[in-house]
Amino acid sequence: MNKLKILSKSIWVFHFASAACNNCDIEILDVLTPRFDVERFGVKLVGSIKHADAMLVSGMMNRKGAEFLKDLYDQAPKPLAVIAFGSCASSMGMFKVSYNRVIPVDEIIPVTAYIPGCPPRPEAIIDGIVKVVKKLRGEI
Amino acid sequence: MNIFLPIIFNLIVAFVLFITPDWKKPLKVIAPILAFANIVIGVYLLFNPNIPEKYTAWILWDNLTKLVFFFIGFFGLVLSIYSAGFIKKKLNKYFSYFFLTLASAYGIILSANWIVLIIFWGISGITLYLMMQFNSGANLAAKKTLIILGGSDSFLILGVAVLYRLTGSFGILSSTWSMIAFVCIAAAAFAKAGNMPFHIWIPDCADKAPPPVTAFMPASLDKLLGIYLLARIFSIITIPPVVKISVMLIGSITIICAVFMALTQHTAKKLLSYHAISQVGYMVLGIGTGNPLGIAGGLFHMINNSIYKSCLFLGTGQVEKVSKTDHLDKLGGLAKYLPITFTSMLIASFAISGLPPLNGFFSKWLIYQGVLAATAEQYPFLSILCLLAALFGSALTLASFMKLMHALFLGAKKYPKGAEKKFKEKFSLVFPQIILALSCIVLGVFAFDLFIKPMYGNLTLTGLWHPKMAMLLIVVGLVLGALIFLISRIKIRRVKGFAGGEGLRPDMHISGADFYEGIENGQPFKFIYGLAEKKLFDLYEVLKAMAFYVIKLLRYLHNGVLTNYLSWILAGGVIILVVIWFM
Amino acid sequence: MKTIFYFLVFPGFLFALIVGMVASYIERKVTARVQWRVGPPILQPWYDLLKLFTKESVVPENAHLLTFLATPVLFMVSATLVAMYAGMAFFFPDAAFQGDLIVIVYLLTIPPICLILAGAASANPLASLGASREIKLVLSYELVFWMTIAVIWVKTGGELSLVNIMNKPPVMYSYSGGIASVLALFVMQAKLGRVPFDIAEAETEIMAGAYIEYSGPLLGFFKMGQYILLATLPFFISSIFWGGVNVFKYVALLVIVILVENTNPRLKVKQCLKLFWFILFPLSLVALILAVVGL
Amino acid sequence: MINKVKDILQGKIIKWEEKSSKRHYIEIDKKDLRSAAELLFRKLELRFCIATGLDNVKNMEVLYHFSDDKTGVVYSLRVFTDRDKGKIPSIADIIKGATWIEREMRELLGIEFTGAADTSRLLLDPTWPEGVYPLRKDYEYGRKEPRGEDSCRRPNIKIEELTKNGKKTKIIPIGPYHPLQEEPEFFELMVQGEKVIDLNINLGYNHRGIEKIAEGKHWDQVTFLVERICGICSCSHPYAYVNAVEDLLGLEIPLRAKYVRTVIAELERIHSHLLWLGLAGHFLGYNTVWMWAWKYRETVLDLCEQISGNRNHYAMMRIGGVRKDIFNSEIDGMKEKAASLVPILDLFKGAVIDDPVIHARTKNIGVLSKEEAINYCVTGPTARPSGLDQDIRKIDILNGAYQLIEWDVIVCQNGDIFDKTVCRVLEMYESVKIITQCLDKLKGLKEGNIWEEVREIPPGEGIGRYEAPRGEVWHYVRSDGGNTPVRHKIRAPSYMNVLSNELAAVGGDVSDAAITLAAVDPCYCCTERMQAVENGNVKYNWEELLRLSEEKTKRLRGELK
């Protein structure tokens, strides 16, 4: 039984917002709501990292937040998919000159997928989820 | 062997120990051995009772006696082991009182004569007073205990006197109904067992006395004796239904009130002591039904309660021994360091909350059926209310024990490194707990074979409950769980706790002590608890206050001025004259 | 051997689990429809469970390992026992025993206790808070629950057996029974931990309460227990109040649970206590008096 | 009022500068600051908006902005102090709302405030080196501090026993990553049982340093930057920023642009309020409200998309006008969509406001009284439910259409969560009203004329304000004539509102605290304003850019010829 295949059927998402502008976070919630409804794919938002199968990281990593990212990644039960969400998380975007920045997400923890956009449109998010699912199943 | 042997043996042991010097090390071994010898004698006598012909009139030897007879020896053994590990100073005196208590307990249950019973009854009260003094600072509580128990003795004497008028003999014989005799003797039984309204000595005693003493007397022997007396009086007097229902109501009120008090206590021993009271309520309720089912339940509950309650007290003693406090706010997270104490206390607290398939459930189950049977006979509504009080009481019991277990053993509290050494469990303290906790399970699962069949033969139950099957299924389920664990090849990894990302800090430990803060501070409970805190429900304190008030009044009159006395005398004389005139 | 079959396969573990998963699917689907969504596929509960069992388990450093591991299993086992006893009375009346009513009601308190201990053993402040809320919730509804059971006793003449209760005319068609059955719905909602009584889990307040530290298979055991309870409780309530169970009654009860869940916000612990002790308890007392009078 | 201010500050004024009728800058000596602040705040009941600290290289300058909420006039007290070891008396004990900004100026600019009770760090982490102040001019743009391994965590406080009222107090952590919050923030609830007796707010998880980044951006780029302060106020921040620059310029924009600005800003308000309503439902465990509110929020987002091309970051504002026009041909459809919101709002009004369980959960919970609201200087839908009649749209929108149409300010009295909800729901009706009127007016105007050309920004300073969905957004810009701002101070509404939680959440249960914390509609990303720059990689240096532009100019010239 392929563990990741099962995982792809039921992805419980923990949302880690580092220094984000809120839009990514709002759009994450948005895909749960009636128009987009990702519960169709078994996606659910959970409050505790211990229940998570995927960690959505949004926003740029600032000095106070980056520390916790590593911690939370360690605390999560594996296998765990990490999704860098939005431009800031993917590449630090316009905050690359901020004095409070640290290093990008993918240099702290391994990232499974990037969903770019500022913020990513819900369609892009769903596309990202589908790609994560495919990747977990080994189709990509 | 002679039936008097247990009494004589214990009396001799008590006397010898009293005059021997305080050899600590040998005494620690000898005392448990003596207690073991005692139970060996007891078990032998249980199967081969040898009652000399000429004393048959003086000895009671029926099922009730046998039951209590065995358990007195049992608790003697278990608690002597624990006491040997716990008590530090004046061991010879302590064990002397200990065996004296055993002797008096045997005396009470064996005697078929009220006078003998009263003498032993008094002795057991005094030994408790003496044993409580082994903790410094227990003087006041000991005094209170002695006054209340002594007071109840006088009730007992009064009751016996009335019975003597009715039957013309001091033998424990069946008699016609007498309200005064019943009330007096029941009051003595209630005081000994700690039923409301004579419960007030138990919290003070438990708070101040050493835990093995609390476990030995108020938690086990006093319950056995008090309920024994109540059961005895129920067996010799035919009780009218009104009195039965009143006894049941007193029992249910005790259950609910005491458990509500227990819910909000902030020290472990006080919390347990209120449970010691509330559990008496169940026994009284069971016996109060007056039908065989209820009485069987009450008696079985008496045994069970003594077992798990002493287990709980012993566990608390262990906790107090290592952490030097029993204040719930200051404790937590001890399960790691005291695993055996934790497990046995957990079992005992499940048993006291009446979770199937443990012994507490079985005896409560009998009591409920007894009460249900009683509803068919008289006062259905009130009986149902009693039943509900008992049922809800066990939910409340559960709640307060969850609080206790959480506050003592679980939660996020961390201890510094090296605490393992400090918090070590001692064999002599742990062993009795294991025995008691195992008895909880064994008596629960094999209740039919061990209790019902020998005592009642074929008791007809309206509801059957197969603890053996349930136990089997639970074991099957646990095995199943373990199998699933193994099949799915689960890896277990220890990580930091999750509290939103930030590290857990010492001040984030939520203590069980605050569990019922909401109830405590919500109306109308705040008002009632406020009154309870002022000791307005404490008969002893109220009477004491009244006595002081009267004395103050007298003192005001007694001011030492001669003319005042003269005028009082004059006024008295005039009143007497007037009264005589109109007669 | 037969008993073990009852326990593991038919009306016990396997059966209850499957029914529970279907019920859970119905719950999620109907919730989704109420919220203008499509909802998950029918096998979603199964996927969730399977996934949980393929994941690793993480245990907090400071937790008490044995309690932490044992409580989820006990949770599931006790839920299964309830399912078995309730199911046996319905499917195998001959094998059922006298007085299973009290036993079932008592067994129903074990899952919350496991949850409380689990929360307490997690060494997490939020889990402790969840545990404390759960026990307060138990305290609140237990009184009313016993009162409703007492109404049944009075109406059926002290009957303690599920089989006999089901064979008598349904309790709910009387004044007292009607009130009691409505109260039992409240209790059922609370026992299932559904909104407005999901205070112990309260995701947005204390994350997941007592479940917060549980992961992988351990959480899976809890989930299984929850599915089994979801299957059993409506069954039980229906059989004691509505005079037996059939698919319609069962689904009707389930729909009531779902609708209440979706049309109410969460209560606070204190409000919950107040609701049960000061509003529903007097009502249940009225029901009991009516029952004793014979209405 | 101006005369009153002059009277009351008599003898303290060093220089009175009237930038425009609504902007007054009053230079005073720093020793008079406390008394002046007290007089303005207490006697004249002006609202303290924020303080701006500036590094003038030769000295430090701090501006204390006070707003008259009846007329919309802003009085700014200007004080100077030495650059090194400069000290200014603290006014946090007079005005509670100044607590955070003083802490912030201390750590970012290095200005000491004498007499301040709390001098701990607000935004930066504990490992940030002492004596390094990122907002000073000598802190290079784009510089980054080294970071120790595993050292950013808050130091473990060794409090074994915390007591209050003689009872032991425990801490419940809410955050930093908590489902209650979309963004990271750390609240320590100090509880006894479940009763909250104190609240400790830790900021800084979201600090991005936007104010610094803005100093390296071209004036026009800054609009995009400030848009990303907050995704939900992504119109309000640019609006306030362009207002500030237009205030500096003294520019009035075309009428059509005003209407367009108003429409998009009000659409944002509806979407934000619906979002809040949904989340509040979610926090109360009422997921149906969440789902329904967000379902209808999509309609609003569609409208936004129709106008701007994007769901969230609209990029509509530019200095001197708006970037995109609304087509007259689409107006009817938009009006229809906007009108379709009214029955939905009726639905929520009925469902939320009449529900007994919601009453039980929100009435008399998290109360912020009028006096406390004044003292904490809260704004917007946190202030108005407490009985404060303040709405920047009515008094001080330089380039908006709010004065040209009819609408009302919603004020409630109790200051509890319920009133906050009611206030927001009713405000949505007003917004629909505003949008419909604006669209009507737009229909009568010709398409096209939507911006004034702005070629360069002269030296000077300007203040722009806008009533964001959460309250007053405040932008202050200063120019030295170059093509980037010298200083850009941003204050988002949550910066003032979140602090009031330490009052409102205390005394309730943990459950109450959860909804109370959410009821100010907190926006931590706003609170901790980021500082951003577009392309991190410096592809071209200055000379290269110059060369490139010269080349292009040459090419263009060639083409034109």
* One-character DSSP codes across C51-91: HHHHS-EEEETTS-HHHHHHHHHHHHHHHHHHHHHHHHHHH
Starting at the edge strand that comes first in sequence, how are the strands of the sheet with A113-115 ordered?
A: A44-46, A12-17, A54-58, A81-85, A113-115
The residue-averaged pLDDT of D180-201 equals 75
Tokens of B327: 């204040």
Measured CA to CA, the distance from residue B566 to residue B383 in angstroms comes to 60
**pLDDT at residue D543, rounded to an integer:** 52
Closest-CA residue to D172 (of A46, B404, C115, B499): B499
- Provide the 10 A C-beta neighbour count for residue D182: 26
Instruction: Return the number of other C-beta atoms located less than 10 Å from residue B527's C-beta.
Output: 9
Q: Is D184 on the interface with B (CB under 8 A)?
A: yes
- Which pair of tokens denotes residue D207? 């600090």
Stretch B7-34: mean pLDDT: 79
The position carrying tokens 């004080």 is D79
SS3 percent helix, strand, coil of chain C, rounded to 5, is 75, 0, 25
D310: three-class secondary structure by DSSP: coil
Q: Encoding tokens for residue D13?
A: 């004024």
Q: Please tell me what DSSP assigns to residue B386.
A: H
**Chain C, nearest residue to D515 by Cα:** C205
Distance from CA of C253 to the nearest CA of B (A): 26
Orientation of helix B139-167 relative to helix B539-557, angle to 10°: 90
Higher pLDDT, B539 or B486: B486
Inter-residue contact D381 to D470 (CB < 8 Å)? yes
* CA distances from residue B424 to A45, B321, B326, B338, C278 in whole angstroms, order as listed: 44, 10, 17, 7, 47
pLDDT band, residue D155 (cuts 50/70/90): very low
A72 close to B (CB below 8 A):
yes
Q: Where are the beta strands (DSSP E) in D341-411?
A: none
State yes or no: pLDDT of D549 exceeds 70.
no
Give yes or no for C266 touching B (CB within 8 A): no
Q: What length is written for chain C?
A: 295
D514 Cβ neighbours under 8 A, 6+ residues apart: C202, C204, C205, D174, D180, D283
- Give the DSSP H or E segment for A85: strand A81-85
> How far is Cα A70 from Cα A61, in angstroms, rounded to an integer?
11
pLDDT tens per residue across span C128-139: 888 888 888 888
Q: How many CA atoms lie within 13 A of B99 on its CB side?
A: 28
Q: How many Å apart are CA B189 and CA B203, to the nearest integer? A: 18
Residue A36 has pLDDT above 70, yes or no: yes
Q: Which of C32-36, C272-276, D89-93, D125-129 has the lowest mean pLDDT?
A: D125-129
The Cα B124–Cα B100 span in angstroms is 8
Confidence of residue B182 (pLDDT cuts 50, 70, 90): confident
Most confident listed range (B140-154, B339-353, D491-505): B339-353
Q: How confident is the model at residue D537 (pLDDT cuts 50, 70, 90)?
A: very low
Structural domain count, chain C: 1
Q: What is the rounded CA–CA span in Å between residue B394 and residue B388?
A: 10
Q: How confident is the model at residue D535 (pLDDT cuts 50, 70, 90)?
A: very low
**CA C83 – CA C207 distance, rounded (Å):** 29
pLDDT band with cut points at 50, 70 and 90 for residue D500: confident
Cβ-contact A137, A115 below 8 angstroms: no
Nearest to D159 among B329, B500, B507 (CB): B507
Distance from CA of A26 to the nearest CA of D (A): 7
| pLDDT value of position D164 | 59
> Domain segments of chain B: what residues?
1-238, 289-483+511-536, 539-582
Chain D interface disruption, residue of A95, A107, A125, most D CBs within 10 A: A95
pLDDT single digits (tens) B257-282:
888 888 878 888 888 888 888 888 88
Q: Which residue of A has its CA nearest to B501?
A: A68
Separation of alpha carbons A113 and A109, rounded Å: 12
d(C-alpha C176, C-alpha C179), whole Å: 5
pLDDT of residue B563: 73
Residue located via tokens 């019943």: B182
- Stretch D43-53: mean pLDDT: 85
Could you tell me if residue C43 is left (phi over 0), alpha (psi between -120 and 50 degrees) or otherwise beta?
A: alpha
**One-letter amino acid identity for C182?**
V
Closest by Cβ to B495, choosing from A48, A68, A75? A75
Task: Give the strand order in the sheet containing D13-20.
Answer: D13-20, D23-28, D73-81, D60-68, D47-55
User: Dihedral sign, CA of A79, A84, A89, A90?
Assistant: positive
List domains and CATH numbers for chain A. 3-137 (3.40.50.12280)
Residues B311-320, mean pLDDT to the nearest whole number: 86
Pick from A26-30, A110-114, C169-173: least confident: C169-173
Do residues D218 and D556 make contact, with C-beta atoms less than 8 angstroms apart?
Answer: no
Rounded CA separation D511/D509 (Å): 5
CA separation for the pair A68, A47 (Å, rounded): 15
CATH of domain D2-145: 3.30.460.80
Residues contacting D455, CB < 8 A, separation 6+? none
Q: Taking CB atoms and an 8 Å cutoff, what residues of chain B touch D154?
A: 502-503
- If one compares B331 and D295, the residue with the highest pLDDT of the two is D295
| CA separation for the pair D278, D367 (Å, rounded) | 21
Shortest Cα distance, chain B CAs vs residue A117, angstroms: 26
| pLDDT score of D159 more than 60 | no
Nearest to B65 by CA among B227, B184, B189: B227
CA distance B63 to B70: 11
Looking at this protein, which amino acid is placed at residue D457? I
Å between D294 CA and nearest CA of chain A: 6
In B445-497, beta strands by DSSP E: 492-495
CA atoms within 13 A on the CB side of D13: 16
Is B518 touching D (CB cutoff 8 A)? yes
For residue C286, what are its two tokens?
Answer: 């009225």
Are residues A35 and D275, on separate chains, in Cβ contact within 8 Å? no
Q: Over 50: is that where the pLDDT of D532 sits?
A: no
- Give the best residue of C28, C54, C57, C68 to mutate against chain A (max A CB count within 10 A): C54
Considering the four listed CATH numbers 1.10.230.10, 3.10.20.30, 1.10.645.10, 1.10.150.20, the one that applies to the domain covering D210-529 is 1.10.645.10
Q: Write out chain C residues lying below 8 Å of D284, CB-based.
A: 204, 265-266
Integer Cα distance of C77 and B477 in angstroms: 5
In whole angstroms, give the CA distance from residue B457 to residue B460: 9
Whether D125 has a pLDDT exceeding 80, the answer reads no
- Cα three-residue angle B236-B241-B246, rounded to 5 degrees: 95
End-to-end Cα distance, chain D = 59
Residues of C in contact with B490 (CB under 8 A): 56-57, 216-217
Residue C122 DSSP label: T
Tens of pLDDT, residues B362-406: 888 888 888 887 777 777 778 888 888 888 888 888 888 888 888
pLDDT tens digits, residue range B284-302?
Answer: 888 888 787 888 888 888 8
Number of C-beta neighbours around residue B569 at 10 A: 10
